[in-house]
Chain A
């Protein structure tokens, strides 16, 4: 956390090399996460770029006592993704909708779990990605998603159960077709 504070101070001090390092450390992972929300890789990169540009232009709001710098940038990324969806003038959270299928395209791997994951509601995908892939703590998830700690716990459970349900039902369907 001390490193985060130091890095943030440098960013606030307009230290371009510090920001470049910050960007290098987080851009790829943020882009992958945003891909789960906005669907297409190109849109994810656009939102990722907007996120870093926003922080560079106006480095405000990071509070080390609430979580890591990475959690902070993911939180901003998530908000920018929500704005992106609003700009698209369509509802992102339709199971099996356009966004989800786009997100499944282009992946290097296809599996029953990833297929089930792509069918989850966007909020659930976002939450599970942050927890399982990014390893964010409950406290950081609460900051990123702006929900109470207890809600993180219950939503994670609900997301896992939904993923498990879809996964199992698709596995059962596959078995019955053989």
Chain B
């Protein structure tokens, strides 16, 4: 092998690539090739030095923030470039489609999305919560959503809020964390908020370390969705707790819970309202051992405990009509239900908890 034949191998060797034994033997003995290798090294070092000296002093603000993630592509432009069928035939087809759907287009053109309706799904694909908010809620915490979903190995917690509509997307802020069983809440509660842009039709994945993904699916509506408008009352056999939830003792308001909520089975589930200073009040439409009996009428629960009168009011009817309800006070929700997410208080803000009656310790 001569130098001309080995020259390309010098370049490869310089890059740390493997070369043939024959080339290696030549390079080890050839002064000319050694000079070439040294010059490559010198050139490389000089280029890196120049690059460092010329590197930007600061990184400019990213203009990507101004861009709307666009699922839709400019189909007309693509059509011009990639048409493979006779264009007059395609044009006729488009005109026919337009004629068929003109009414729809005219109607939709006047619509302005005002509402964003969404569901949050867990890692198993099951819905954890759903909600409807204005597309631009203006920072009103009433429309924030949040939940804790217990699993056998821990609890996933999240808090989401809609920041507003951007083009055809909804900007969503989310904090979410995974709490393995036995760990304390502080780490999870202090998770930083992350922002996402959600395009209706997609599944927005919110990665949660240790858990997997939460998923959000949603869509815009120009008018208040029927299930909200007509859904003043929950389905038969269900109780529904919607904020604000206010607990009153005698004439004193003990606290007000503003975001979140849920729907539960009237026969199998309980809900609880808690405050750090008050402990937890567990409510069930089925008898609980040691509980006091109260009444539930539309959006109001009334009961008497330790000789004092209590009222719990909710933002919407808990059910249509009235039923008996059982209430029991616990210092800790975990005293009542070991499977519950626990007492992760944050500045004594009231909380709600939901669970299954079969998990209540008093039932066993």
Contacts and interface: CB of A to CB of B under 8 A. Distances in A.
Contacts of A71: none
Interface residues of A, number: 52
A10 to B, nearest CB: 6
B7 interface: yes
A15 B59 contact: no
Nearest to A106: B54
Contact of B194 (A17, A55, A132): A17
Given A9-B207, A157-B11, A16 B47 contact: no
A31 B59 CA distance: 9
A170 interface: no
Contact of A108 (B53, B65, B192, B207): B53
B83 to A, nearest CB: 22
A100 to B, nearest CB: 14
A144 B247 CA distance: 63
Interface stretch (A20-28, A62-70, A81-89, A91-99): A20-28
Contacts of A113: 42-43, 46-47, 50
B12 A153 contact: yes
Contact of B64 (A9, A52, A114): A52
Interface in A31-75: 31-32, 35, 41, 45, 49, 52-53, 55-58
B62 interface: yes
A14 B197 contact: yes
Contact of B195 (A16, A28, A131): A16
Given A113-B43, A129-B51, A138-B15, A32 B56 contact: yes
Contacts of B42: 113
A171 B195 CA distance: 55
Nearest to B54: A107
A153 to B, nearest CB: 6
Interface in B30-72: 36, 39-40, 42-44, 46-51, 53-56, 59-60, 62-70
B50 A53 contact: no
Nearest to A114: B50
Interface string A140-178: 000000000000011011001101100100000000000
Contacts of B196: 13-16
A131 B69 CA distance: 32
Nearest to A156: B11
B56 A23 contact: no
B40 A49 contact: no
Interface in A82-138: 106-109, 111, 113-114, 117, 128-129, 131-133, 138
A148 to B, nearest CB: 15
B226 interface: no
Contacts of A163: 43
A111 B60 contact: no
Taking each of B63, B192, B207, which has the highest tally of chain A beta carbons within 10 Å of its own beta carbon? B63
A55 B70 CA distance: 11
Interface stretch (B198-206, B272-280, B349-357): B198-206
A62 B197 CA distance: 20
A109 B50 contact: yes
B78 to A, nearest CB: 13
A53 B17 contact: no
Nearest to B69: A57
B198 A14 contact: yes
B186 interface: no
Contact of B49 (A10, A49, A109, A128): A109
A148 B194 CA distance: 40
Nearest to B171: A16
A31 B55 CA distance: 8
Contact of B55 (A6, A12, A32, A128): A32
B8 interface: yes
A27 B11 CA distance: 29
Q: List the 3 closest A-B pairs by CB distance, nearest first.
A: A108-B53, A113-B46, A157-B11
30 contacts: A9-B205, A14-B69, A14-B196, A14-B197, A14-B198, A14-B199, A14-B204, A16-B65, A16-B194, A16-B197, A18-B194, A31-B56, A49-B60, A52-B64, A53-B63, A55-B64, A57-B67, A58-B70, A107-B54, A109-B53, A111-B46, A114-B46, A117-B50, A129-B47, A156-B15, A157-B10, A164-B39, A164-B40, A164-B43, A167-B43
Given A15-B207, A52-B62, 5 more contacts: A15-B206, A109-B49, A113-B43, A113-B47, A164-B36
